Amino acid sequence: MTFIEVKELTKVYRASYGAEVKALNGVSFNVEKGEFIGLLGESGSGKSTLIRILRGVEAFDGGFIKIGDLIVKPNSPPDEYIKLRRKTAIHLQRSFGLWSETVLDNVIRALRWAYTGDETLPDPDSGEYERLAEEALEILDLVGLKDRAKLWAIALSGGEKQRLILARQIAKKPEVLLLDEPATMTCPKTRLEVVKTMKKINDAGMTIIMASHMPEMHRKLADKVIWLDRGVVIDEGRPNEVLRKFLSRLEPPSSKPLRPKRPKPALRMIKVTKRYKIVPFGEVFTLKEASLEARLGEITALLGPSGSGKTVILRLLAGLELPTSGEVRVKCGRKWVDITKLGMESMKARQEIGILHQEFALPYWSKVIDLFASRLGLKSWDMIQEAIRRAEQHGISIKVLDALHRIAELPEEEIKIRLEELGFTPDIIKEIFPAMPTRLVEEQVKDILEALRLPRDILYRRSYELSGGEQVRVALALSLISRPSVLLLDEPFGDLDPITSRKAANALKSIVSKLGTSIILVDHQLDFVRETCHKGIVIDNGEIVYKGPINASVKYYKKNVLKLK
């Protein structure tokens, strides 16, 4: 019996540069109650737009949605959209919207919303809190986070945050669960756990519609797959058959860049340790004495399960965290500079490092050219010298200026927290590090746009007008703007479909071939890692346990860390 009917759904975006873009064009399909539907398509095909419309948070221009006895049309009153939101819960692509509280309290809030429509946390000493906590622990057990219940959500790894967000959606007791890339940034072992969790939820009778770029997610979970291409349904049916047709569009992999006969070191981590204390519970994470070297012309993968310390290492290498002990040295000209020491030399040396964070997000309304102008304000040496002059006017020392410079490269949600700790408001970044004039930007970024297959007119589009794949490539271009000798990538391709991911892999290899860059990346897609990287470094529980050629590293990781057959 049909439970959901989508009929001739149309969505048109009016882009800021004048064009009309049909994100969805006459999309129609039916879903049975308790069915698991997979949405497949390249980045920009309309999957996320469709999910948001089904959730009731995105307006549309034509057609209708019917869930049970509720029919929603473009001109439906607001009350009907509210009813649609009550019937659905959503896990958004690259969304990390969590309360700055414990894992347990995040789920308790969602449960209270399901029962009362109010997410206010009950008094911890009340009977209501105790009842909700008991139910919340059952949900956390379902998603494999029961042992993390008392940790602050901000302390979780990317994969753990994804599972917590999923737990919060389950707690809202929807009739339809909408999932937009639910296994993004999870290691293979965690992904299996997420698959098992979603399977349990579906077996209990939950209707699920999932957009995922991962073929194995559709094979293991979906009853039916719907293939979207440029906003049009071009096929639907059994997962294996639709996936076979979809994957036939893969472009061939380019060859890995030839490694130099005598590769030159560009970055060294020397016996670095890092100890974190997580307030207020006294829990700690310790990076044990870690040493590694990045060499020009090589691509290296950091392999490890969620929470093992991969992101910690990248942030230490970028100078965004200072170690408890040890050194991080960057080759700057003929000199090695220890960037664990704040000062002018470190600011100059850190121009040699670019980083793309796991939780990157492009400001929604910003024009792409303005993003490049702001980044050049941080990474251009001419602009840094201007920042030094401005800092002197504000009575800011070079060491404090260097600290501000590092803070400005953190994910946006962290910048405000760090600035408050130093007694500054967010405005200080723009005051000290002014953007480069936009008239100078286009020529600066021309070669990078070409290497990443981005059209020049993308500079004049706004972030919200970009597809997921375009956003990732723009973020990658921003990381390359200072022509760094070392590029650090914290799983930026985790939510790309196989076709776009292959293009990204080929683009990375092209960057190394043309620019001689050293790349250190984190990615849980082992096929991507094998195809792209020369070497691997395996990390487990805060310790480097193996280094070697990429195939040997992946084999060691699967057998000895993941315990996979």
Tens digits of per-residue pLDDT, 415-437?
888 998 888 988 999 899 999 98
Range with the poorest average pLDDT among 254-258, 375-379, 469-473: 469-473
Other CB atoms within 10 A of residue 459 CB: 21
- Average of pLDDT values for 60-77? 96
Of 120 and 154, the structure prediction assigns the larger pLDDT to 120
Residue 209 clears pLDDT 80, i.e. is over it: yes
pLDDT of residue 525: 86
Lowest-confidence range among 51-60, 128-137, 235-244, 356-365? 356-365
Whether residue 94 is predicted with pLDDT greater than 60 in this model: the reply is: no
The reported pLDDT for the residue numbered 540 is 95
Between CA 52 and CA 54 the distance in angstroms is 5
Provide the sign of the torsion angle of the four alpha carbons 184, 274, 286, 487, taken in this order.
Answer: positive
What confidence score (pLDDT) does residue 359 get?
65
pTM: 0.79
Residue 18's pLDDT is what? 64
User: Of 429, 441, 439, 371, which Cα lies nearest the Cα of 404?
Assistant: 429
Please give the residue that has the higher pLDDT: either 501 or 322.
322
For residue 260, pLDDT over 60 is answered with yes
Of 368, 369, 376, 373, nearest in space to 464 by CA: 368
Lowest mean per-residue pLDDT among 76-90, 112-126, 214-228, 494-508: 494-508
CA torsion through residues 172, 173, 175, 180, sign: positive
Per-chain mean pLDDT for the chain: 89
User: Which residues are CB-neighbours of 333 under 8 A, at least 6 positions away?
Assistant: none
Reported as a pLDDT band with limits 50, 70 and 90, residue 36 is very high
**Between 251 and 518, residue with greater pLDDT:** 518
Decide: helix, strand or coil at residue 328.
Answer: strand
Q: Which domains does the chain have, with CATH numbers?
A: 2-247 (3.40.50.300), 265-275+288-561 (3.40.50.300)
Instruction: Scan for tokens 């959730």, then name that residue.
Output: 55
Average pLDDT on 314-327 reads: 96
| The pLDDT value given to residue 194 | 78
Over residues 106-129, the pLDDT tens digits come to 999 999 988 998 899 999 999 999
> What CA–CA distance (Å, rounded) separates 15 from 211?
24
